C-alpha cells in the first residue's frame, strides 16, 4: 500500500472556494502559503471498509495517483503533491481555470478549420503521449477537455479526470466495462472518440445521435452515419476524410494516433491543402445549439443521479456498471430532467410554469433510482450552499413547500433506502431538516445500512442538524448494521456537542456495539477527552466491560492517558476490576511504563498486590518490561507507613502552602545548624534535648604554631590534597603558594581535631523543607561557611525578595572581627540586588532583601543577662548603627540585634527570634501571593 504524506494540508496551503464536487470528491482552489502559487486541491473521501458504500477504495485512489505521477506533458494536467489524513486523500493538481473547450468555442462568432485543428492537434498530442506510456484514458469526452487559460491568444488544451484511466498492454486485448455493458463493445475505447470530437466540433451534431437511446446505440454498433449538408455544407474534404478514417468499425483498419497526426488535415502536405483548410469554416450556428444542448443534458444527468449514482461514484468506486443502471444516458423522461434542473436552480416560478403546462405529469413519480423531487431538492440545496457561500440561497425551502403543496411524498426511499431527510442530514442542511421535520417527515426511517438521518448527522458532526432531529422526537438509540447508535458514532469521532445533545435527550449511555464497547470506551480509545468528560458529567456507567473485560479505565491506563485516567478515577470508577486475563488498570499501566498513571492510581487507592491469571503483580510486570522507576515505586509502597505518607504528599489541597525560603549565612562554627535545630524544637522536645558538645575552635585558641593556621586551610587540605601550603583570599578563590613555608607540614593531633570539626560542618548548601515551631513552613537554605563553596553562592543565593535572610556571627570574636564577618556576608547579599530604574529617597531600593543579624555563643562569650533573662550586648547599638550606615539603603536590616545561646531552644531570646520571623513571614505572604508557587 502506498503511503502518502501525513502533513496537514491546511498548514501548507490556504484553501479557497470550491470549484466543483462529486459524490466522494470536492475540488477547491488553494494557494501555497510559502510560494503563493495557486493550485487545485482535490479532496477524495476514503472508504472506511470493504463493505461500506461510502467513499472511494484505496486501490482506485492509488491507481489514479500512480498514473498522474507518470505524466509530464503540456497538454495533460499535472499532479504536484499528494497528502492524506484519516478521512481523505488530497491531490494537489495544476489549476486549470480556463473552462471547457466546447464552451470556449461556442462563444466565438466564427471559427475556421485551421483554428479547430490547432486545438485538435493538442488533443492528439496528449493522447499520443498517453499511449507511449501505455495508458488509456477511457473517458475522453468534451467535459474532460479543458483550457489552461482562455484569455491568452493561443489557449493550451489540458486533458483532465483520470479516474477511469488504466495502464494496459496495447499488444493484448484489454476488456473492461465502461458505459452500458449490454450494448457497448470493448473496441469502442480506441481512437473512435477522437473522430466523434472532430465531427461534433465541425458540424455541431453528434454523428450517431438517434431519436431515442436504442436507435443511438444501434447507430454506434453499426457505425451508421452520414455527412448531411445541413451540418457539413462548409466542411472541407480533408476534414470529412479525417472523420471517416476514425469512424471505422474494425479497430484494426481504424486510423492510429500516428496516422492522425500525419493526416493532411492536421499536417497539410502542400499549400493547396493548407488553403482548403483555412477557407473552410465550422458551422457555428449548429455548434452553439449543440453546445447548449449538451450542457443542459450534462447538468440534468448530474442532478438526476442525485449524488448516489453519479459519474464520479462509478469512476472511483469498484462497482461494475452491471450493478448500476445509469451510465451513458438516463431512461428517465425529459420532463423529469427539466424539473430536476429547475429544482437545482431554485427556479420556483419556472417549475410552476412547467408543471402548469403539463397537466398530465405526476410530480410525485420517482426516477429510475426511485428518488423523488424531494430528494433532489434536499440535495440541490446542499450543493448550492457549498458551491456559493458568498451568495445565500433562501429559496430551496420555498421549493420544498411547493413540492409539498403538490402532494410530493416525504418519506419515499430510493434504492439505497435513503429519504430526503437522509440527504439533507448528510450535507448538514439544517433549514431543510427543520422544515421536513415540521411537516411530519419520518426521522426514524433507516437506509440499506440501517442508518437513520441522526446517524448521518452524528457521523459528519452537524450538531445543529442532530439537535433539530432530536427535537423532532427521533429515536436516539437506533442502531445501524454495525450495531452503533448515534451516540457511539459521535463519541468515536469526537463531536462533544452532539454527544451533549444526545445525552440531554436521554440517549442510553450504556448502549454497546457488537464488540461490547460503550460510548465511553470509544471516546477513550480515540483519546476524545472532551467527549469523555461530557459522558462522565452525565453519569455514564464507568465500570462497564467490553467483550475482553476491559473498562474505559483499562483502555486509558494502557494508553497512558493521564487526564482521562484522572477524570474516570474522579467519577468513582472501580480501580481493581480485572479483565478476562486478570489484569487490573494498574497492571496495564505498569506493563506499558505509564509512570504518572501508576502514581495516580496508587494515590486513588488501587490495590498494588492484585495478581493476574498468571499470578503476576503490577511490580512483576514492570520488572519484566524493564520499567525500573515503576518497579522501585511499587516496591516501596508495599510498606503501609510509606504508602500513607506517599498518598498524603500527593493528595491535592485547595489551600495555598505559603512555604517561603529562610537562608542562613555565617562563617564556620557560628552555630547555623544548631540554631536551626533549636528553632524546630517544641516545648516538650526542648526539655529532653541535650546540648551538643562543642568542639573548640583551635583557630581562636592556638596551642601550637601549627594550630595557629587559619581553619580554612585545613578545610582546603581536606578537599584538595596537596594544597596544604596555600593561602586563601576572601571570596577570590585564588590559591597562592605560601611564602613562609617551603615544605609540607606533618599532621599532628591538633590537625586531626580540626578534621573532626570539619566533618561536622555543613557541606556546600544544605536544603530542607521544615516547620519552625510556632512560625510555619520554611524551605531552609543553610550556606556553608567554608570558602571553598562560596564561589557558587552568587548563583544559588539569588535575588529573592520573598526570602528571609539570617546573618550569624560569633560573639566570641573581637568586635572588629564581628564587624568584618557581618560586612562580608552583607556585601554578598548586596551584590545580588540588580540595579533598579525606580529608586526611593536617598537611593533606597523599593524591594530590598530582608536581613536579620544574630549574635551567637553569648553564653560562651560571658555576655551578661538582664533581670528578665535576656542577653544584653553592650555593643549592640554601635554595631547596628555602623551596619545600617553602610547597607541601610540596599538592604532592609532589622532594628534589633538578636543575641542568644543557639543551643537553648526554649529561651526567651529564641522566642523573640521566632516572633520576629513570623512577622516577616506574614508580611511577605500578604505582599506577594505567589510565594506558594515559588517554594521549593
For 456-491, write each residue's pLDDT tens digit. Answer: 999 999 999 999 999 999 999 999 988 899 999 999
Query: Smallest Cα–Cα separation from 674: which of 895, 920, 860?
Result: 860
Share of the chain above pLDDT 70, in %: 67
Average pLDDT, the chain: 75
Q: How confident is the model at residue 196 (pLDDT cuts 50, 70, 90)?
A: very low
Is it true that 363-475 and 546-652 share their CATH fold?
yes
Q: Please give the Cα distance from 307 to 26 (Å, whole number).
A: 12
Predicted structure pTM score: 0.41
Share of the chain above pLDDT 90, in %: 29
Q: Please give the Cα distance from 781 to 762 (Å, whole number).
A: 11
Q: Which residue has the higher pLDDT, 688 or 509?
A: 509
In the predicted model, what is the mean pLDDT of residues 688-693? 50
**CA end-to-end distance (rounded Å), the chain:** 54
Looking only at Cα atoms, what is the longest distance across the chain?
139
Q: Would you state the pLDDT for residue 721?
A: 43
Helices (H), 693-811: 711-719, 749-760, 793-797
In the predicted model, what is the mean pLDDT of residues 860-872? 88
Is the confidence at residue 868, as pLDDT, over 90?
A: no
Is the confidence at residue 10, as pLDDT, over 60?
A: yes
Q: Would you state the pLDDT for residue 50?
A: 75
Annotated binding-site positions for ATP: 46
Summarised one tens digit per residue, pLDDT across range 716-770 is: 344 444 444 433 333 333 333 333 333 333 333 334 444 445 566 777 888 888 8
Is the confidence at residue 654, as pLDDT, over 70?
A: no
Q: Which residue has the higher pLDDT, 701 or 730?
A: 701
Q: Please give the Cα distance from 105 to 374 (Å, whole number).
A: 36
When mean pLDDT is compared across 205-214, 555-564, 845-854, 897-906, the lowest value belongs to 205-214
Q: Would you state the pLDDT for residue 71?
A: 93
Contact predicate 219/194, CB 8 Å: no
CATH for 660-690+764-934 (3.40.50.1860, 3.40.50.720, 3.40.50.300, 3.30.70.1350)? 3.40.50.300
Q: What angle do CA 521, 526, 530 make, to 5 degrees?
A: 85
In the predicted model, what is the mean pLDDT of residues 787-793? 82
CATH level 2 (architecture), domain 9-94: 2-Layer Sandwich (3.30)
What is each CA distance from 330 to 119, 244, 326, 592, in whole angstroms? Answer: 30, 29, 6, 59
In the predicted model, what is the mean pLDDT of residues 625-642? 82
Q: Would you state the pLDDT for residue 326?
A: 40
Q: Please give the Cα distance from 221 to 932 (Å, whole number).
A: 90
Is the confidence at residue 785, as pLDDT, over 90?
A: no
Q: How confident is the model at residue 212 (pLDDT cuts 50, 70, 90)?
A: low
Q: Would you state the pLDDT for residue 345?
A: 54
- In terms of Cβ atoms closer than 10 Å to its own Cβ (0-12, 13-18, 19+), residue 255 is buried
Q: Please give the Cα distance from 184 to 191 (Å, whole number).
A: 15
Q: Would you state the pLDDT for residue 325?
A: 41
Contact predicate 573/543, CB 8 Å: yes
Q: Please give the Cα distance from 319 to 314 (Å, whole number).
A: 7
In the predicted model, what is the mean pLDDT of residues 7-24? 85
Is the confidence at residue 806, as pLDDT, over 70?
A: yes
Q: How confident is the model at residue 816 (pLDDT cuts 50, 70, 90)?
A: very high
Q: Would you state the pLDDT for residue 740?
A: 35
Q: Would you state the pLDDT for residue 733?
A: 36
Is the confidence at residue 132, as pLDDT, over 60?
A: yes
Q: Would you state the pLDDT for residue 107?
A: 78
Summarised one tens digit per residue, pLDDT across range 319-372 is: 443 343 443 344 444 455 555 555 655 556 555 555 554 444 444 455 444 445
Three-class secondary structure of residue 585 per DSSP: helix
Query: What dotted CATH number matches 101-294?
Result: 1.10.510.10
Q: Which residue has the higher pLDDT, 745 or 521?
A: 521
Q: Which residue has the higher pLDDT, 746 or 602?
A: 602
In the predicted model, what is the mean pLDDT of residues 810-836? 88
Contact predicate 167/124, CB 8 Å: no
Tracing cell 450552499 back to the chain, one arrives at: 385
In the predicted model, what is the mean pLDDT of residues 395-417? 74
Q: Would you state the pLDDT for residue 191?
A: 43
Query: Smallest Cα–Cα separation from 414: which of 375, 384, 449?
Result: 375
Q: Would you state the pLDDT for residue 897?
A: 92
Summarised one tens digit per residue, pLDDT across range 579-601 is: 999 999 999 999 999 999 998 99
Contact predicate 69/59, CB 8 Å: no
Domain 483-541 has CATH 2.30.30.30: no
Beta bridge partners of 770: 778
Query: Smallest Cα–Cα separation from 581: which of 619, 626, 547?
Result: 547
When mean pLDDT is compared across 209-218, 242-251, 802-811, the lowest value belongs to 209-218
Active site residues: 139
Q: Domain ranges for the chain, please list them.
A: 9-94, 101-294, 363-475, 483-541, 546-652, 660-690+764-934
Spatial neighbors of 746 by CB under 8 A, at least 6 apart, are: none
When mean pLDDT is compared across 224-233, 774-783, 904-913, the lowest value belongs to 224-233
Q: How confident is the model at residue 934 (pLDDT cuts 50, 70, 90)?
A: very low
What is each CA distance from 485 to 491, 494, 501, in whole angstroms? Answer: 10, 14, 14
Q: Would you state the pLDDT for residue 292?
A: 60
What is each CA distance from 421 to 45, 431, 661, 886, in whole angstroms? Answer: 22, 11, 68, 87
Query: Smallest Cα–Cα separation from 793: which of 806, 803, 784?
Result: 784
When mean pLDDT is compared across 519-523, 528-532, 629-633, the lowest value belongs to 629-633
Annotated binding-site positions: 46
Q: Would you state the pLDDT for residue 323?
A: 40
Query: Smallest Cα–Cα separation from 27: which of 11, 16, 14, 35?
Result: 16
Is the confidence at residue 904, as pLDDT, over 70?
A: yes
Query: What dotted CATH number matches 546-652?
Result: 1.25.40.20
User: Which class would CATH give 363-475?
Assistant: mainly alpha
**Long-range CB contact pairs, 754-762, < 8 A, 24+:** 754/698, 754/707, 754/711, 754/714, 755/714, 755/718, 756/695, 757/669, 757/695, 757/697, 757/711, 758/714, 758/715, 758/718, 760/695, 761/668, 761/669, 761/715, 761/785, 761/786, 762/672, 762/673, 762/786
Contact predicate 459/449, CB 8 Å: no
Amino acid at each position: 500500500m502506498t503511503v502518502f504524506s501525513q502533513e496537514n494540508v491546511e498548514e501548507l496551503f490556504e484553501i479557497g472556494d470550491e470549484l466543483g464536487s462529486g459524490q466522494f470528491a470536492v475540488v477547491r482552489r488553494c494557494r501555497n502559503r510559502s510560494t503563493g502559487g495557486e493550485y487545485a486541491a482535490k479532496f477524495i473521501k476514503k472508504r472506511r471498509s470493504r463493505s461500506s458504500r461510502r467513499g472511494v477504495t484505496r486501490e482506485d485512489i492509488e491507481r489514479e495517483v500512480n498514473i498522474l505521477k507518470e505524466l509530464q506533458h503540456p497538454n495533460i494536467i499535472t499532479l504536484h503533491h499528494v497528502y492524506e489524513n484519516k478521512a481523505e486523500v488530497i491531490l494537489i493538481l495544476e489549476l486549470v481555470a480556463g473552462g471547457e473547450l466546447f464552451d470556449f468555442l461556442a462563444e466565438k462568432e466564427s471559427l475556421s478549420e485551421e483554428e479547430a485543428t490547432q486545438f485538435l492537434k493538442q488533443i492528439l498530442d496528449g493522447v499520443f503521449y498517453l499511449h507511449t506510456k501505455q495508458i488509456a484514458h477511457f473517458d475522453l469526452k468534451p467535459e474532460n477537455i479543458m483550457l489552461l487559460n482562455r484569455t491568452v491568444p493561443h489557449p493550451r488544451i489540458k486533458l483532465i479526470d483520470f479516474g477511469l484511466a488504466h495502464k494496459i498492454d496495447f499488444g493484448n486485448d484489454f476488456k473492461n466495462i465502461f458505459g452500458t455493458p449490454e450494448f457497448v463493445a470493448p473496441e469502442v475505447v480506441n481512437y473512435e472518440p477522437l473522430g466523434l470530437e472532430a465531427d461534433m466540433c465541425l458540424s455541431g451534431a453528434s454523428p450517431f445521435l438517434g431519436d431515442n437511446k436504442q436507435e443511438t446505440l444501434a447507430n454506434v454498433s453499426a457505425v451508421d452515419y452520414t455527412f448531411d449538408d445541413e451540418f457539413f455544407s462548409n466542411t472541407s474534404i480533408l476534414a470529412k476524410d479525417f472523420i471517416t478514417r476514425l469512424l471505422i468499425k474494425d479497430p484494426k483498419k481504424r486510423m492510429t494516433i500516428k496516422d492522425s497526426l500525419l493526416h493532411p488535415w492536421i499536417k497539410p502536405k502542400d499549400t493547396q491543402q493548407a488553403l482548403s483548410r483555412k477557407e473552410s469554416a465550422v458551422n457555428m450556428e449548429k455548434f452553439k445549439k449543440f453546445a447548449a444542448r449538451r450542457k443542459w443534458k450534462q447538468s440534468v444527468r448530474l442532478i438526476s443521479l442525485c449524488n448516489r449514482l453519479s459519474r464520479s461514484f462509478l469512476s472511483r468506486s469498484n462497482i461494475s456498471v452491471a450493478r448500476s443502471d445509469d451510465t451513458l444516458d438516463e431512461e428517465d423522461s425529459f420532463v423529469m430532467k427539466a424539473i430536476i434542473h429547475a429544482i437545482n436552480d431554485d427556479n420556483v416560478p419556472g417549475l410552476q410554469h412547467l408543471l402548469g403546462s403539463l397537466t398530465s405529469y405526476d410530480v410525485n413519480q420517482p426516477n429510475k433510482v426511485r428518488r423523488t423531487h424531494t430528494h433532489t431538492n434536499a440535495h440541490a440545496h446542499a450543493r448550492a450552499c457549498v458551491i456559493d457561500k458568498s451568495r445565500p440561497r433562501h429559496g430551496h425551502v420555498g421549493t420544498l413547500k411547493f413540492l409539498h403543496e403538490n402532494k410530493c411524498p416525504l418519506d419515499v426511499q430510493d434504492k439505497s433506502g435513503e429519504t430526503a431527510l437522509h440527504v439533507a442530514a448528510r450535507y448538514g442542511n439544517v433549514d431543510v431538516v427543520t422544515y421536513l421535520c415540521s411537516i411530519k417527515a419520518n426521522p426514524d426511517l433507516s437506509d440499506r445500512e440501517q442508518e437513520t438521518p441522526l446517524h448521518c448527522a452524528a457521523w459528519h458532526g452537524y450538531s445543529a442538524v442532530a439537535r433539530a432531529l432530536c427535537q423532532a422526537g427521533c429515536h436516539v438509540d437506533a442502531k445501524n448494521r454495525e450495531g452503533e447508535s448515534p451516540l457511539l458514532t459521535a463519541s468515536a469521532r469526537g463531536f462533544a456537542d452532539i454527544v451533549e445533545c444526545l445525552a440531554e435527550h436521554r440517549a442510553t449511555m450504556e448502549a454497546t456495539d457488537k464488540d461490547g464497547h460503550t460510548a465511553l470506551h470509544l471516546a477513550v480509545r480515540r483519546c476524545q477527552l472532551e467527549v469523555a468528560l461530557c459522558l462522565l458529567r452525565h453519569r455514564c456507567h464507568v465500570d462497564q466491560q467490553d467483550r475482553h473485560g476491559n473498562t474505559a479505565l483499562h483502555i486509558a491506563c494502557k494508553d497512558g492517558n493521564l487526564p482521562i485516567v484522572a477524570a474516570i478515577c474522579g467519577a468513582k470508577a472501580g480501580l481493581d476490576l480485572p479483565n478476562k486475563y486478570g489484569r487490573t488498570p494498574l497492571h496495564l499501566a505498569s506493563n506499558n511504563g505509564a509512570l504518572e498513571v501508576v502514581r495516580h492510581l496508587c494515590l486513588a487507592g488501587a490495590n498494588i498486590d492484585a495478581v493476574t491469571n498468571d499470578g503476576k503483580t503490577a511490580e512483576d510486570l514492570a520488572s519484566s518490561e524493564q520499567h525500573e522507576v515503576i518497579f522501585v515505586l511499587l516496591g516501596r509502597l508495599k510498606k503501609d507507613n510509606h504508602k500513607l505518607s506517599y498518598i498524603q504528599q500527593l493528595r491535592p489541597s485547595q489551600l495555598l502552602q505559603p512555604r517561603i525560603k529562610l537562608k542562613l549565612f555565617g562563617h564556620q562554627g557560628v552555630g547555623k545548624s544548631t540554631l536551626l535545630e533549636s528553632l524546630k524544637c517544641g516545648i516538650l522536645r526542648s526539655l529532653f534535648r541535650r546540648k551538643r558538645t562543642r568542639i573548640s575552635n583551635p583557630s581562636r585558641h592556638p596551642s601550637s604554631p601549627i594550630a595557629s593556621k587559619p581553619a580554612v586551610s585545613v578545610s582546603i587540605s581536606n578537599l584538595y590534597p596537596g594544597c596544604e601550603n596555600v593561602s586563601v583570599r576572601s571570596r577570590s578563590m585564588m590559591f597562592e603558594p605560601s611564602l613562609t613555608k617551603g615544605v609540607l607540614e606533618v599532621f599532628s593531633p591538633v590537625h586531626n581535631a580540626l578534621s573532626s570539626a570539619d566533618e561536622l560542618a555543613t557541606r556546600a548548601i544544605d536544603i530542607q523543607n521544615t516547620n519552625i515551631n510556632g512560625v510555619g513552613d520554611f524551605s531552609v537554605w543553610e550556606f556553608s561557611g567554608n570558602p571553598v563553596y562560596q564561589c557558587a553562592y552568587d548563583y544559588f543565593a539569588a535575588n529573592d525578595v520573598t526570602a528571609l535572610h539570617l546573618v550569624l556571627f560569633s560573639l566570641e570574636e573581637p568586635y572588629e572581627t564581628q564587624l568584618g564577618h557581618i560586612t562580608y556576608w552583607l556585601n554578598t547579599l548586596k551584590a545580588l540586588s540588580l540595579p533598579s530604574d525606580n529608586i526611593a529617597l536617598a537611593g533606597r531600593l523599593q524591594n530590598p532583601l530582608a536581613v536579620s543579624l544574630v549574635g551567637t555563643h553569648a553564653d560562651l562569650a560571658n555576655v551578661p543577662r538582664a533581670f528578665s533573662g535576656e542577653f544584653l550586648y553592650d555593643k549592640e547599638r554601635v554595631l547596628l548603627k555602623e551596619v545600617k550606615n553602610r547597607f541601610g539603603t540596599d538592604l532592609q536590616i532589622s532594628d534589633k540585634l538578636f543575641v542568644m545561646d543557639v543551643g537553648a531552644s526554649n529561651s526567651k531570646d529564641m522566642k523573640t527570634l521566632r516572633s520576629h520571623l513570623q512577622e516577616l513571614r506574614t508580611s511577605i505572604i500578604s505582599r506577594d501571593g505567589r510565594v506558594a508557587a515559588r517554594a521549593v
